[in-house]
Copies of this chain bind each other. A is one copy, B any other.
């Protein structure tokens, strides 16, 4: 395993004026801005629309490289990506999902259980590729920059990588579904993940020809989009004055 080793070990390393590497920020054109917002607004959590078509290696590599260019605390880049294509492995994960969903169903309020059961919640077998995204919590050593006060920032960095992956997938025509109804112990066992590696996300990936215009859980009336205004405060929690 690689680790984020410094290329030199003292303050002298930055003596050659790092600010010379500052460059003017080039604007994004109107069309470029529209493309990025389009990706953000058209991204969907896909469960059932995966096509039975392989994802070419170069497409998958672009998607994973986008993930790898997420921000990470102290530039620790704590993520790994396990690309799961093997059918037996995906079948084992699917069986683990079935057990986990049965457990979650029991905890649903009576008036939501039938609705819950009607939802399609994963595409583990339908999607030709699954991707398990993990976080190596010790990659930067015992004293990672920026993790003394907030040790879980490495997990949050890894979630940022998932979001980059998701947006890159969208523009490549690849749908992504995040399956969170899985027991960590099952995934760890099936994918041989060591105890010191955290499991952050289990994703299904495949080309799609159709998708929902709104979030599927909104279409299926499980929940609805909240008004942005309700989520904004000014200067301190609860203060609604002058929100944008």
| Chain A contact residues, CB within 8 Å of chain B | 1-2, 4-11, 13-14, 18, 21-25, 27-29, 31-33, 35-41, 43, 45, 49, 57-58, 60-62, 64-66, 68-71, 73-77, 79-86, 89, 100, 103-104, 107-109, 111-112, 114-119, 121, 134, 140, 143, 145-150, 152-153, 155-160, 162-164, 166-168, 170-173, 175, 178, 180-184, 190-194, 197, 200-201, 208-228, 230-238, 243-244
Contacts and interface: CB of A to CB of B under 8 A. Distances in A.
Number of copies: 2
Nearest to A4: B223
A18 B180 contact: no
**A interface, over-half SS:** mixed
A66 to B, nearest CB: 5
Given A24-B210, A217-B75, A223-B4, A57 B148 contact: no
Given A2-B227, A238-B192, A31 B31 contact: yes
Contacts of A233: 80-83
